[in-house]
Structure 1
Amino acid sequence: MTSVARRLGFVARQLAQWTVLLAVALLTVLIVLPVAALGAVLVRVGRWIAAAVSPPPRSTAASKTAAADTTITVGFFHPYCNAGGGGERVLWCAVQAVRELLPAAIRARTASSSSSTPSDSAQVVRITPAQLPDEHIQFVFLRSRPWVEAAPYPFLTLLGQSLGSLVLGYEALFASLASPAVRPDVFLDTMGFAFVLPLFRWLLRCKVGCYVHYPTISTDMIARVRDRTAAHNNSALVARYPLLSHGKLAYYRGFALLYSLVGSCAELVMVNSSWTRGHVAQLWHLDRQPVFRLGDELLAATETAAFEKHAHAAATASSTGGTTRSGKSYNTEPAAGSSTSSSTSSSSSDPTQRLRLLYASPDSRQDAFAPVFERLNKALHANAIVLYPPCNTTLLRAFPLQSRSASPATIVSVAQFRPEKDHALQVRALAEALRLQPQLRGKVRLALVGSCRHADDQARVDSLRKLAHELGVEHEVELLVGVSHEVLRAQLAGAVGGMHTMWNEHFGIGVVEYMAAGAVAIAHHSGGPLMDIVTPFRGQPTGYLATTKEEYAQAILALLAMKDSERHAMQERARASVSSRFSDEVFACGFAEAVATLVCAHR
């Protein structure tokens, strides 16, 4: 009876939960959004009539000053802001970019526009003050977060979590209405809850943007269900029976349609990789070509002759207290950790320090960066902008490249023991390499470094130990679970290679860390590693890409057979490739410029 009662209670809870979700969804679709859309139309009609019957007010210095003093509130929607993962690192680097760089980016856009009209001047906005102290960051605590967790939805999980985000979004919306101090002018979703975007665009009339780490659903997920391929997101039971596969395929396609509708509400779409961009552009019906990599565009602009002229003007402005020929003062102080005098030198070899000069002299920077900003403006509404996530590689780049040939040579793998990471492929690849060249036994070591979230992850660790024993490589495979950062750094500092086996990883920050640390990457031939990370540098390879057990084994053998000079050259190329493109500074500058474009765009 107890078992029956538990099952009945579970069914009752599921029915009540889905009833609430469907009620919220229907209320939103049938009443809230139509009324908001009608209100927006009436407001636009009223403005058009008012403009037609009365002349525009004359622009005065006082009105321009008042417009320039408008305070902008930027809202970040990130319910798990204290989780400590990669997504939260993006969040807090974005917050820092808003605090330190966005005010100068907005002022530079408006100050350097030579074709502005009195009506344009009304759009001039800034954040007050330029360097926001902690009291200018306010948290809105949301109590309905359990609605977006996966545990309450044992089936239809994607739909349940997405509709649950509406509940969370309404709570955030009502909190904004109740307290004008936290009502955002710009709303940015950095968590991936696209279903909340229509609420803030049409109900609060915010300018809406998002940073997408990975699409909630992808065309690859749909393809696996269609092809009846078992995977971590498509159980073997569903893949086995055609009826179940057809039902899940219809569900996925219906959800993809909903996802495209809510995603189309975003006025600014930033993504973390070319792979993510391809899927988001297809699902949200954005332009597929050309790819706009904002960080790469900004870095390339610092290598032009026009930038050298801008750098000279910036140095002059800095030496005179940040005053330009227009008579306005600008905050030219670089971010924490940057030097003031050296960072304004046009001869600086560090591209990230040169990029800081974007904010030193707004009158002259248009000459150097105008082509980039023009493409950014065009990409704002019709494209998904690729902005690589922040990667702090400074410490890793300090690891020496010598003294890594000691036996046994270490190949490291750093990843949580999650099913999609496919650690078993790494063990099988090593076993295959040793089968091909048995003389390497005892001369190579695979260190699997990671953490376990729960009992299922721990079970995977146990199964990996069992697999290594079955394949006869238990002495060459070491599992380091939940180790300290000091141990992790020591493993990276001594590794000759770094292995990655996740299929279609959206970015792959672990691969970036391998390359920065001097470990030659052996990564999966898909997703972010293929399209963005393990790419040629000045025409020369920076690592290996593989798909099958045999290809990984060949890459391992090729790496171990390299001469020290050849390996050092590849390590140097890999380190140089990632150190400029993937950094906190490039992300911060790109994020500030993208949001400034959104703020200054006409409605």
Structure 2
Amino acid sequence: MPSSKILSTLLLIIAGALFSLKVLSGFLPHFVRTPPVKWRKRVNRAILAAEKATKKIPVLDFGWKTGSVRRQMILASFKPSDYSNRVYGSKIAVGPEDRQNRETFINRMIPAKRTYNRVIYGFFHPYCDAGGGGEKVLWKAVETTLQKDSNCVTVIYTGDFETSGEEILSKVSKRFGYELESSRVVFVFLRMRRYVDPKTWPRLTLLGQAMGSIVLAIEALYKLSPDVWCDTMGYPFTYPIAKWVARIPVITYTHYPIISSDMLDKLSQMPNFKSNIGLRLKFLYWRIFMILYSGTGSYVDIASTNSTWTQNHIKKIWPICDSRIIYPPCSTENLIFKEESSGWERENQAVIIAQFRPEKRHSLIVTSYASALEKQKLEKNVKLPKLVFIGSTRTEEDRQYVEKLKKLCFDEYTLPKELVEFKTDCEYTIMKDYLRNSTYGINAMWNEHFGISVVEYAASGLIPLVHASAGPLLDIVVPWDTKLNGQVSECNDSTRTGFFFKDPSDPDFAKYTSKNYKTLRDIFLQVSEMSDEEKLAISQRTKKCVLSKFSDTTFSEKWNRVLEDLPEIELAHQ
């Protein structure tokens, strides 16, 4: 079947599904939120029957109404986390504390008899156990939400069936240091996560994942309808579903737009675009998808983004949406190792912390360094820093990539081995030692949406040498006035927090030739001539900047404002 026909068929399917849900939206909230008649009596009888039997756990099945009953039991429960669905699936087991306090529990099932208001915040994050930066945002938002309201409950919609809720929260504590009140964290495990896995959609991946997220959102709401829908992973086609099916407020945290004008421009500017029918069909596909993506923004109440770059794109895509920047929680408080007030004692080395993938442009760093080394032979009093590449390798392809980099360094450029070091998959404690003792931190990626490694450099006292684009340029390595303790517009010797570079290999290099950015080679030579006093001043200034902008405390303050600015949540229908 031709690609154009496949595309049109899929668009008809997704449009038909959305139209059907829109038509049914008047009935659907009742379907997912209103329990069946006499459900309280069934729960009460099940508890009483279990009391007469030895070690019997009352487990109930309400069929297609199970999700609405689970919701009501969570609202009444003494320990909501008991109503996670991993063990009993579509059935509901009454929690031990609720069985012990049966009479009060049954009475609390009646909204008028509850002495508290309980809001259920649903966090849609199908890969909540991944342990990356996106998950750090999720768990800090969950922790902040729980701390703001002692009565609220957070629900995590995830597909991580291979582990339990207790194990996930234990990893959160070890990885991020966040201690959550586990009794108010409910895990709803979703069976259909494969539909948002890119491997499921080898062709038309964007559209396939969009359709898959709709299916997954319907499953989530069917199993448990929250009072607020929080998407912290980036599934925009779930927003109209949450509005139509449950009629609840929608909060989003966007790490990067799933499609942007940059992607369309880059495709249309390819040399053979006009003569290549495949590229033109792809452009049409992306264009139609962008229109669909734009429509999802009308269902968002508050859209938060991780950086200025992402914010600028979201404003174009969702112009009518309330959007605001909330920088990721980078735990900068925990990375302030020491104050070099007595002098500069760090080693003359530059670290590059990034996964070993081509888009991180390690080869650009190597090539620039080799060129600077040749230039250094002609200069006096110039000593280039040692390079230390630190990163993880997820696949065999990544490991082969590291070997190619080593060949580039030692075979093609014949760089001295004492000047270049590779540390793959090293422990976090080892990485922290390098952050504590090095002088520079390099990030060469083009259009890094945010750049948490750059924040780690700055918080650790390193001097950032970064590509002049996106997050590092607009948000992190910004001019900073230490007396005002604030960001300023002019960059000079007294406000500098790092150094920028551009390269002819940048896709948008021609647009920025007038900015007169140096190349990385020239930056290497420039910083090598800095005095210890200059290094110390930049280091201290940069640390103050990131501690103010990217701390966990700052994230919590801004997330709390989002919760406060939400439309009034209807509690009467609970």
- Per the alignment, residue 543 of structure 1 pairs with 498
The alignment partner of 1:507 has SS state of: coil
| Stretch of structure 1 that moved more, 393-402 or 467-476 | 393-402
Distance in 2 between the 1:88 and 1:532 partners?
A: 21
TM-score after normalising by structure 2 = 0.70
134, 145, 169: which one aligns with 1:87: 134
Mapped contact 1:498–1:519 kept (Cα < 8 A): yes
Query: Aligned to 2:200, what secondary structure does the other structure show?
Result: coil
SS in structure 2 at match of 1:259: helix
Give 3-state SS (helix, strand or coil) of 1:138's partner: strand
Partner secondary structure for residue 600 of structure 1:
coil
Q: 2: distance between equivalents of 1:493 and 1:406?
A: 8
CA pair 452-202 structure 1, distance change in 2 beyond 3 A: same
The answer for the alignment partner of 2:409 in structure 1 is 468
Kept in 1: contact 2:384–2:528 (CA 8 A): no
* Residue in 2 that maps onto 1:31: 20
Matches within 5 A, 1:150-165: 150-165=198-213
Equivalent-residue separation in structure 2 for 1:68 and 1:201 (angstroms):
28
2:314 maps to amino acid: V
CA deviations 1:82-132 (Å, max 9, x no partner) are 100000000000000101025699xxxxxxxxxxxxxxxxxxxxxxxxx98
Q: In the comparison of the two structures, how many residue pairs are matched? A: 431
The separation in 2 between residues aligned to 1:138 and 1:39, in whole angstroms, is 23
1:215 matched residue in structure 2:
257
1:491 to 423, 434, 438: 434
CA contact (8 A) 1:186 1:599 kept: no
Matches within 5 A, 1:286-435: 286=320, 382-401=321-340, 409-435=348-374
4+ residue segments displaced more than 4 Å: 17-24, 37-40, 64-68, 102-105, 238-241, 402-407, 439-443
Deviation (angstroms), 1:275: 0.5
Q: 1:66 deviation in Å?
A: 8.2
Contact 1:21 1:164 in 2 (8 A): no
How large is the RMSD of aligned CA atoms in angstroms? 3.0
Aligned partners of 2:344 and 2:533 also within 8 Å: no
Query: Is 1:567 matched with 2:535?
Result: yes
Contact in 2 for aligned 1:25/1:166 (Cα 8 Å): no
1:146: which partner in 2?
194
Q: Distance in 1 between matches of 2:551 and 2:567?
A: 24
SS at match of 1:562: coil
Determine whether 1:578 maps to 2:521.
no
TM-score by length of 1: 0.66
Q: Deviations over 1:389-415 (max 9, x none)?
A: 1011223212354776666x1100101
Q: Corresponding residue for 2:223?
A: 175
1:595 aligns with 2:563: yes
* CA drift at 1:25: 2.2
| Residues in 2 aligned to 1:152 and 1:467: alpha-carbon distance in whole angstroms | 36
Say which of 241, 247, 250 aligns to 2:284: 250
- Any idea what SS the aligned residue of 1:397 has? coil
User: Which position in structure 2 is the counterpart of 1:278?
Assistant: 312
Q: Which amino acid aligns with 2:319?
A: H
2:455 matched to which residue of 1? 512
Q: Deviations over 1:282-314 (max 9, x none)?
A: 01224xxxxxxxxxxxxxxxxxxxxxxxxxxxx
- Alpha-carbon contact 1:102-1:593 (below 8 Å) kept: no
Kept in 1, the 8 Å contact 2:383–2:528? The answer is no
**Structure 1, gaps ≥5 residues long:** 1-10, 41-63, 106-130, 177-182, 230-237, 287-381
**RCO (CA 8 Å, sep 6+): is it higher in 1 or 2?**
1
Aligned residue for 1:545, secondary structure, equals strand
Q: In the alignment, is the contact (CA less than 8 A) between 2:343 and 2:536 conserved in 1?
A: no
Q: Is 2:234–2:254's contact at 8 Å kept on the other side of the alignment? A: yes
On the 8 A contact 2:384/2:525 being kept in 1, the answer is: no
More deviation in 24-33 or 135-144?
A: 24-33
After the TM superposition, which residues 124-139 of structure 1 pair with which residues of structure 2 at under 5 Å, given as runs? 133-139=181-187
1:454 and 2:395 matched = yes
| Residues in 1 aligned to 2:239 and 2:473: alpha-carbon distance in whole angstroms | 31
Cα distance, 1:474–1:451 mapped onto 2, change above 3 Å: farther
Judge conservation of contact 1:465–1:474 (CA < 8 Å) in 2: no
Q: Offset of 1:429 from its aligned partner? A: 1.6
2:28–2:246 CA contact under 8 A, matched in 1: no
Q: Which secondary structure state, in structure 1, belongs to the residue aligned with residue 123 of structure 2?
A: strand
The aligned amino acid for 1:597 is: D
Q: Aligned equivalents of 2:275 and 2:9: distance in 1? A: 32
Cα displacement string for residues 398-453 of structure 1 (whole angstroms, at most 9, x for unaligned residues): 2354776666x110010111222111111112112112212689852111100011
Q: Which residue matches 1:197? A: 239
| Matching residue of 2:227 | 185
Cα 1:84–1:581 shift into 2, 3 Å:
same
Cα distance between partner residues in 2 of 1:132 and 1:443: 46
With over 3 angstroms needed to count, the CA separation of the structure-2 counterparts of 1:437 and 1:191, relative to structure 1, is same
Aligned residue type for 2:470: G
CA shift in 2, pair 1:455/1:555, >3 Å: same
The answer to whether structure 1 residue 228 and structure 2 residue 270 are counterparts is: yes
Change (3 A) 1:474 1:172: farther
Structure 1 residue 601 displacement after superposition:
7.4
- SS of residue paired to 1:587: helix
Secondary structure of residue in 1 paired with 2:188:
coil
Shift of 1:154: 2.1
1:493-524 deviations in whole A, cap 9, x for unaligned? 11111000111111111111101111100111
Indicate yes or no: 2:573 matched with 1:525: no
Q: Is the alpha carbon distance of 1:133 and 1:38 closer, same or farther for their aligned partners in structure 2, counting shifts above 3 Å? A: closer
Report the equivalent of 2:38: none
